[in-house]
Structure 1
Amino acid sequence: MGPARPASYGAGGGRRGPFFFEDNDYVRGTVPRINTLATALRARGGTVAWVVPTSRELPPRDVEFFGADIAAMFNASGGKGPVRARLWPELEPADDDVYAEKTAFSAFFAGASDLHEQLQARGIENLVVAGTVTNVCVEGTVRDAAGLGYRVVLVADACAARRDQDHNATLHVVYRTFGDVRPTSEVLELF
């Protein structure tokens, strides 16, 4: 995958957010694949990064657009405390992994997190992206990563959305414009 070490982006999501893991079997089904990718990537000398949303003062735009209750739910979806402790309990982070919080849908949106700086400090040029929600945070992150010059592979079966058509639409958009799209088995072969 080139001279720089690849990185994996695992969007852990919040522990209690209904749009993430707790109430969605499909989303929970991505966990074993994310863990397999993370383990294989580490074994090849790669860097695994975990990103969760952080709570912030609710922007008036969010309250106006979503309504107060939904805006508050989205705002709390990443939980509280250290990033590693906020990952879904079945995910398998390691001490040497990268941990970041984000204040925007994209982990690479300017000023939204320090993920880009952490990856640049490690010489990362290639990203393997997995997580939730495919058509929101994952797509936003992939678009901005490509704009920053990263080579991106989106892992189709290690991401999830609320509806198949939303998930598939993002896979199509990413493949046509922002990066490669492959299943876990093919990404493991690339490692």
Structure 2
Amino acid sequence: MKSPVSIKRGTVAAVFVDLQEEHRQDKRYLVEGFGDILANVQRLQATARANDVLLYHSAYIVDLTREARRFHPVDANGRSAFSDKDDPLTAICPEVAPVAGEMMLVKTEASAFGAGPAAGRLKAKGIEWLVVAGVWTEACIDATVRDAVSLGFRVLLVKDACGSGSTAMHQTAILNLANRLYGGAVTTTDGACRLMAGETVDAWQVQGSVPLRFTYENAARLYDEL
């Protein structure tokens, strides 16, 4: 259900996951509605920068010459079938790329917090809330959110600034995360911008155990109600 949420200034960072060119140019890896997602991310980033919110970016890049991965899909040349280190489309889209002084992680796994010092650095700065946006919702966003919650962060999941290969994939992934987003909330780009600016916003928060019992028939409606 929705309830009032507010975030104390200085305790929030914005996390942007895998907003890379391949998701709008590589036909094998296109994200539905990626242009709208990037536009919403631009709004989030502008608001974060205007309100001294830390920005943390990640990009997923696979280097099979350094790390053998059993069952990993490869192309005809033996390179990773997606996000290969030599593919220029792994670059972050320029309109949402980090600027000087912002944290940037090149990761080799789904989660932006699976390894490395990022979580520790954020906690050292007093960060309690993470505004999370990016792709793909059921993969790298899911892994990032679950790790963040396990690490003790409150996650503000921005549903219209995330995406996947289809609307159904995205919406059901958001619903699955919402069911277990303990300590956090689900909101829209507008809601997240208002929260980063210091306002109080009504946002969806989980209560009880798995409250969103969605079906093929009602999943879109429940998603819209978040």
TM-score, structure 2 as length reference: 0.71
Structure-to-structure mapping, 1:89-128, within 5 angstroms: 89-109=94-114, 111=115, 113-128=116-131
SS at match of 1:36: helix
Matched, 1:2 2:8: yes
Report the RMSD for the aligned CA atoms in angstroms.
2.4
Q: Does 1:74 align with 2:79?
A: no
Give 1 or 2 for the bigger CA radius of gyration.
Answer: 2
Higher share of residues assigned helix: 1
Q: CA distance change for structure 1 residues 117 and 74 in 2, over 3 Å: closer, same or farther?
A: farther
Partner-residue secondary structure (3-state), 2:75? helix
Percent identity over paired residues: 26
1:97-176 map, 5 Å: 97-109=102-114, 111=115, 113-176=116-179
Runs in 1 of length 4+ with deviation above 6 angstroms?
none
Flag structure 1 segments of 5+ consecutive residues without an equivalent.
Answer: none
On the 8 A contact 2:19/2:135 being kept in 1, the answer is: yes
1:29-48 alignment, distance < 5 Å = 29-48=36-55
In structure 2, the gaps of 5 or more residues are: 1-6, 197-226
Secondary structure (helix, strand or coil) at the match of 1:93 reads coil
Count how many residue pairs are aligned between Structure 1 and Structure 2: 179
